[in-house]
Structure formats: structure tokens, C-alpha cells
């Protein structure tokens, strides 16, 4: 079965924004995160993206065709040295087409200079909230991954430079997402680890099917966790009750074998006899068995007095065996 991350990318790869400006924003993110701009000796431009995920290549190919109606070269390579044997390349090889794309995504200015405006406020490609959604979607498709929520919660997008990571962090912040950045080897990783926030970013990227699956898994995990906590709590209470009853029985037996119950006040002697007769009974059950009945706190108070008495007898040393 495909990983959760692959299923999310597969869903996003088949989703196409109706607005052209959103399509351009998604193309901009894909080129920015996994693309290369090449210029030959005759100043001819070429754009190429390379990915190991066929869904990403398909989405980029579709976006270019839909948005610019341009032809692309698709190359599939086999690399036996890698665990993932296939690499997919999509290239815009015609200079005119490449310039058209680069100008639209604002990676090329009117003077022919290549550069990217990393400002969230001033970058025209991501001015609208819908375009920022598309940009995050493209960035995730190009360089992101998400863990299996059955195991743990982790969402990340890997960036080659810190400024790009900061831009993504700022874009996510416009949706109330608190993403963090960490350096990993020579890369910078924008990540989210909190379950609610990961659900939110799936919603931002408009991965509705993945979001439903994620929430269902999260609910089941929380239910299992709640049941486990309840069972652990009840088990701890049972262990505590049993341990207390064992100690009480041991203390009362010691008193019986040393000074006997006849030397005890009637209320203590009655509780002592009841405990020996019913070592497994709760405090409430012990109290109800007495005549007249006694409440839990009353039974607990008398048993504590008996335990203190047993300790005093042990410490005196007169009755040690």
C-alpha cells in the first residue's frame, strides 16, 4: 500500500485550481523547490524540474499545458544505485516558452535578470490567500513529506536555502500555522509536529480526502489513548487498594498475635475482625458490614489507627518474633 505521504501527493496532483493566478503560484513553488533554470551561451533559457514522484511530474506537466499551452519534454530515467529506481524530468526547452513561464512566475524580470522575491508582502505571485494555498501545495508536492499519522505526526518541506524556508514559514503563518525551521545537513526544513496544525495545513492545501483520513486516524488514536489512560488509572487504583489491604491485614494480624483484640477499643476491634474476615473488601463494603454501619472515611480512620498501633508495637521491640 502507498504511504500516507504518497496518497496526499496523489490527491493534490489531480487537483487543478480553476484560476490562472493560482496555477501560476503553484508552478512558481514547484520550480522554486525542485527546478533548475539553465542559460546557454546564446542566452537561451531552459527550465527543468526533476522528481522521484510521478504524481509531481504529472501535476507540473498538466499545469504548464493548462496555463501556458506549451509543449514540454518528459524524460524518465532508471537509476539502479537509488532505492527509488525512477527519476522523472520535465523540461521547457524552447527559449520563448521558458521566458514566458519565468516572467509569469516572477523569476525573471523585464531586464532578463533571474531572481526571486521572497517577501510574502511584496511578491505578486502570492498576493491572494488562494494563491498562497496553491504555493504551499506546490511546495509540498515538490519537496514535502508527511508521516503516517498512525505512527506519529510530522509534516515537512525541505528547502535548499534558509531564505526560502523563511518565506514558506511566513506564508504558512498567514493561515495561523506555527511552522518551525531546522537545519538538516545542508538543507533547511520547515516542519510542523502538532496534530491540529497538520490537519489545518491539509485543509489549507485543500487535500480534503487526506484530511478526512487523517482526522479519522487521529480520533481513533485519541480514543485508544483515552481508554489506555483510563485502564492504567483503574489498574493503579486497584494495585493501590490491594497493597493497602495487604498491609492492613498484616498489621491487624500482628496486633492479634501480640496483644490480641480484647485489648482494643470496640470500634477498632470490630474493624480489625471485619478486615481479617474480608481481606478483599473495599472500605465502603467494610463499613457496610459493621453494626452500626460506618462511612468510608470512618473505616479508613480506624484502619490507620490500627496501622499506627502495629508500627508502635514493632518499634517497641517487645513483640518481635
Q: How far is CA 156 from CA 90, 114, 130, 176, 185, in A?
A: 24, 27, 21, 16, 15
DSSP 125: G
State if pTM tops 0.85: no
Residues 149-203: tens digit of each pLDDT? 999 999 999 999 999 999 999 999 999 999 999 999 999 999 999 999 999 999 9
Phi/psi at 2 (nearest 5 deg)? -65, 150
Residues 256-295: tens digit of each pLDDT? 888 888 888 889 888 888 888 888 788 888 888 888 888 9
With CA atoms as reference, report the closest residue to 99 among 89, 83, 111, 90: 111
Q: Identify the pLDDT of residue 223.
A: 84
Q: Identify the pLDDT of residue 157.
A: 97
Q: Please report which helix (H) or strand (E) contains residue 86, including its range.
A: strand 86-92
3-state DSSP assignment of residue 235: helix
Find which of 24-28, 33-37, 268-272 is predicted with most confidence, using mean pLDDT: 24-28
Burial-class residue 105 by CB neighbours within 10 Å (0-12, 13-18, 19+). buried
Residues 95-134: tens digit of each pLDDT? 999 999 999 999 987 777 788 888 887 888 999 999 999 9
Q: Identify the pLDDT of residue 320.
A: 45
- Whether the CA torsion 89, 95, 97, 99 is positive or negative: it is positive
Q: Identify the pLDDT of residue 7.
A: 94
Amino acid at each position: 500500500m502507498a504511504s500516507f505521504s504518497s496518497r496526499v501527493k496523489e490527491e493534490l496532483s489531480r487537483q487543478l485550481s480553476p484560476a490562472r493566478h493560482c496555477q501560476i503560484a503553484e508552478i512558481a513553488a514547484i520550480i522554486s523547490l525542485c527546478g533548475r533554470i539553465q542559460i546557454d551561451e546564446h542566452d537561451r533559457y531552459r527550465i527543468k524540474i526533476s522528481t522521484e514522484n510521478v504524481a509531481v511530474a504529472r501535476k507540473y506537466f498538466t499545469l504548464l499545458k493548462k496555463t501556458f499551452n506549451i509543449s514540454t519534454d518528459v524524460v524518465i530515467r532508471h537509476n539502479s544505485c537509488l532505492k527509488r529506481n525512477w527519476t522523472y524530468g520535465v523540461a521547457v526547452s524552447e527559449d520563448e516558452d521558458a521566458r514566458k513561464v519565468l516572467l509569469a512566475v516572477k523569476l525573471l524580470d523585464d531586464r532578463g535578470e533571474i531572481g526571486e522575491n521572497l517577501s510574502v508582502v511584496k511578491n505578486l505571485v502570492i498576493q491572494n490567500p488562494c494563491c498562497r494555498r496553491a504555493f504551499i501545495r506546490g511546495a509540498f508536492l515538490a519537496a514535502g513529506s508527511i508521516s503516517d499519522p498512525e505512527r506519529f505526526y510530522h509534516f515537512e518541506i525541505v528547502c535548499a536555502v534558509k531564505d526560502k524556508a523563511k518565506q514558506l514559514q511566513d506564508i504558512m503563518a498567514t493561515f495561523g500555522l506555527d511552522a518551525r525551521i531546522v537545519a538538516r545537513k545542508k538543507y533547511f526544513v520547515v516542519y510542523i509536529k502538532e496534530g491540529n496544525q497538520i490537519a489545518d495545513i491539509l485543509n489549507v492545501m485543500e487535500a480534503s480526502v487526506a484530511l478526512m483520513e487523517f482526522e479519522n486516524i487521529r480520533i481513533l488514536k485519541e480514543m485508544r489513548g483515552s481508554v489506555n489512560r483510563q485502564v492504567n488509572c483503574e489498574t493503579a487504583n486497584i494495585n493501590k487498594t490491594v497493597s493497602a489491604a495487604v498491609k492492613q491485614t498484616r498489621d491487624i494480624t500482628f496486633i492479634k498475635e501480640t496483644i490480641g483484640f480484647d485489648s482494643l477499643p470496640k470500634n477498632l476491634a470490630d474493624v480489625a475482625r471485619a478486615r481479617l474476615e474480608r481481606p478483599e473488601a473495599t472500605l465502603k463494603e467494610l463499613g457496610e458490614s459493621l453494626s452500626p454501619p460506618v462511612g468510608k472515611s470512618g473505616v479508613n480512620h480506624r484502619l490507620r489507627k490500627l496501622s499506627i498501633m502495629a508500627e508502635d508495637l514493632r518499634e517497641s521491640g517487645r513483640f518481635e518474633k
